[in-house]
Structure formats: structure tokens, C-alpha cells
Homo-oligomer: A and B are copies of this chain.
């Protein structure tokens, strides 16, 4: 089958979801940013008391989830009912992992909202640390699982 975002003539459209059921939909996405050891330590210490990089990245991620349909051209606007964003500090490889869960009761899924939250969460970490470490790399950004809707449950196979 072809891509649903194009009609039979190959032109892009915002696909018709009018006939879909309004169901409880959940998506979980994740990703990480790797950095130098010194940068990692700054984030780690700041997290405890001041210079709260993670706290700011979380707010940016939550707000970005709400802007998804403004950013992604063919994405439907959705009234999100829940957004949570967690960060995990991983000392072994000086990386910060971000995981976002987004929920709605609507006619289409929220994978894009979860991915957008992760991307902007990681970007905000980059922004706040770039003065000391311009070479940080973001990777492994993906959907981990989704629930609800006609296609039902799905879980990523992590290699």
C-alpha cells in the first residue's frame, strides 16, 4: 500500500479521520543525547539544586507537544489529555535519556506529539549546554509503544 498522506493523484492532504472512533490513545516515545563527561556532571549537579537543565527541558517538551500540529504539516490538531516527560541520567555513557508519554481521547493517534516532545526536550538540553559542549549528539529517537485506535497496540522491537 501507498502512503495515506497522499491521495490517488499523489497530492498531499490532511487525511480524513472523521469516521474514526474517538478512543483513548496513548503513545510513548524516547530518545537520548550524548555528551562529554564534564557536561554530564554539570547537568547532574544542577539537577539537584540550581541550574536545573532537566526541569527546563521538561517544560519545553510538554509545551512542544501542544504545538505539534503547528509544526508537522499534515498532522491533525488534537486536544491532549495528558503529557508526561521523564529524563534519565545515564552515567555510563554520559547521556541523558528522554521519554515522553502523551494521551488523548480522539480520532487519531498521538505518536507525533510524543516524538515532538522528545525532540524539543533534547534540543533544549543541547541549547543550555552548547556553550560548554557543542558536539553533543541526539539519537535513538523513536516511538516505543502506542495503544488505542483501529490498529490497536504496538510495541517497538528494540535491537
Contacts and interface: CB of A to CB of B under 8 A. Distances in A.
Interface of A: 1-7, 9-18, 24, 31, 42, 46, 49-53, 55-56, 58-60, 62-67, 69-86, 103-107, 111-112, 115-116, 119-120, 122-124, 126-132, 134-143, 146, 154, 156-157
A64 B63 CA distance: 12
By DSSP majority rule, is chain A's interface helix, strand, loop, or mixed?
A: mixed
B143 A50 contact: no
A94 B131 CA distance: 34
A138 B135 contact: no
Contact of A137 (B10, B24, B116, B141): B141
Given A7-B84, A77-B79, A134-B156, 6 more contacts: A1-B132, A2-B42, A17-B82, A112-B127, A115-B123, A141-B141
Contacts of A124: 72-73
Contacts of A9: 50
